[in-house]
Structure 1
Amino acid sequence: MTPYEAFAVDLARAAAAVTLPLFRTDCEEEDKGGPGAFDPVTRADRDAEAAMRRLIAERFPDHGVIGEEYGEDRPDADHVWLLDPVDGTRAFVAGLPLWTTLIALRHEGRPVMGVIAQPVMDEIFLGGPSGAALIKTGEAPAPLRVRPCPSLNDAVIATTDPDIFSGAELGAWTQVRAAARLARLGCDAYAYAMVAAGRIDLVAETSLKPWDWSALVPVIEAAGGKVVNWRGHAPDDKGQILAVGDEALIDQALVTLKRAAL
């Protein structure tokens, strides 16, 4: 494990020390959404990001940080940490243990290391130069590997909620879903961890921010998968993400997704 990878694990555990005691409690939920849009934020979101920012400032004072709750600090630095302290705040508020903490390290504009952490289940999915591994307390890291699935007809696929898609996007997702063997909803970023673990074959989503998708790329790609946008290129700020375990699925999914690509 490289020093940056070890530090990312430390960040995940520092965030868990904040979020776990607040899970299924009065977590001071607020709605930051506009009229007709519920977009919750909790004390867990704010305090966990603050804890991770403090550690980064102490250990790597020349690094930048981009976080969902507290914005940008030196985003043009050579090394930038991207933080989503509670990805899946709606699940957190509902008491469902599928929310995660997302941590990525971007070097010269490209995500090179990522963590998808689920502290309720004591799971840290790490991807980077040392490969991809599942880390659990008191256990040796377990290597992660995607599974072969060359046909969309045999694939298990996921998205958080079809309501995230616009009209054209929803039509494209619906066609992909119709072709797949099984679709699961409501997993947020945990679905991407399951791609790396060889349990889910494809995830398609839209409207993701850089802190939503940056950690996913190193985890899945270190496990042998691929993450692209809906045009088949590297993910970008337009936020349309397609993650697959088997690269053979990309062209099959893009037959429909490209029609709604931004």
Structure 2
Amino acid sequence: MNDNDIFEFLVFLADQSAKITMKNFRQNLVTTNKNTSNNKIDPVTDADKNAEKLIRELIEEKYPDHSIVGEEFSSKDRDPRYKWYVDPIDGTKSFISGIPLWGTLIGLEIDGRPAFGIIDNPSTKERYIGSTSVSYKIYDGRQSIIRTSEQSNINDLKFGYTTEEMFDDDFTKKVLANVTEVVGMTRTGGDCYFYGLLASGYLDLIIENNLKPFDIIPIVPIIIGAGGFISDWKGLPDYKNGNIIVSNNSRNHHKILDIIEQVR
């Protein structure tokens, strides 16, 4: 199992998943709310479930001993050294609203470290794939190496996050307000699409909260392979506690960590 094998398999998984998701995109979909604890909506569709089911089946067929963690179904615990993370439709709210910024996330963790990942945006036909050593964008049949931007002035950073609902207490709201105040530009609503933009040099900073491991693990190798920095809000490589900072370079990353520390 070498790098090329994994890259080819990730592309294959994304291709097969897209056949299901694109068939259902901008159609009249029946949605179910997974959130029963409060008034917030956490929708899921048959497209989410069917795409994840197919991805799981294909992984199990090729790597029957590997573990799998997905959004819509229970985890499959096998060999802990190899663990796949699957989010069939990251941005289901965008998906059911006809907004083309949703995507499919698939990642492989080896010995507890994110090693390979893909962000597939079928509706825009953009695909980002990487390991911790190199990352690529695939578009219109062409594959090109991607790198994060060289922007070093925090006041000129292009900052993105998905929704203010992620920042749901006084501390996280203050972090968002303080970061927004110092950066040059802020955009929202990007889901996983924003991470591909950062890896390819268009955005400079992403800060998010209340994420799940399958939202983050597939993204980590792509960011690192493109020269970016990614950590939790304490600057640690803990990608499973729900909060994340992604920066174009180390200098900006540490500046953002300083801002967060001042809020604590």
TM interval, shorter chain, is over 0.9
Show CA shifts across 1:37-70 (max 9, x none).
1110011110000010110111111111000001
Aligned length in residues:
260
Residue 98 (structure 2) aligned to one of 80, 95, 98: 95
Residue 41 (structure 1) aligned to one of 39, 44, 47: 44
1:78 alignment partner, SS class: strand
Deviates more, 1:232-241 or 1:89-98: 232-241
Residue 147 (structure 1) aligned to one of 145, 149, 166: 149
Q: Matched residues in 2 for 1:106 and 1:31: separation? A: 29
For structure 2, the residue ranges without an aligned partner over 5 or more in a row are none
**Percent identical residues:** 32
Q: Matched residues in 2 for 1:122 and 1:211: separation? A: 22
Q: Matched residues in 1 for 2:263 and 2:182: separation? A: 17
Aligned to 1:2: 4
Deviation of the 1:77 alpha carbon: 2.2
Residue type matched to 1:239 in 2?
G
Matched-pair contact (CA < 8 Å) for 1:102–1:215: yes
| Structure-to-structure mapping, 1:63-212, within 5 angstroms | 63-74=66-77, 77-128=80-131, 131-137=134-140, 139-165=141-167, 166-212=169-215
Show CA shifts across 1:23-50 (max 9, x none).
0112221111123111100111100000
Q: TM-score, with normalisation over the residues of structure 1?
A: 0.95
Deviation of the 1:215 alpha carbon: 1.1
Matched-pair contact (CA < 8 Å) for 2:65–2:79: no
Q: Matched residues in 2 for 1:44 and 1:107: separation? A: 28
Q: Matched residues in 2 for 1:46 and 1:162: separation? A: 26
Work out whether 1:225 is the aligned partner of 2:246: no
Residue type matched to 1:141 in 2?
Q
For structure 1, the residue ranges without an aligned partner over 5 or more in a row are none
Show CA shifts across 1:125-154 (max 9, x none).
0011661111134x2311111111112101
Work out whether 1:240 is the aligned partner of 2:235: no
Matched-pair contact (CA < 8 Å) for 2:217–2:239: no
Q: Matched residues in 1 for 2:229 and 2:132: separation? A: 15
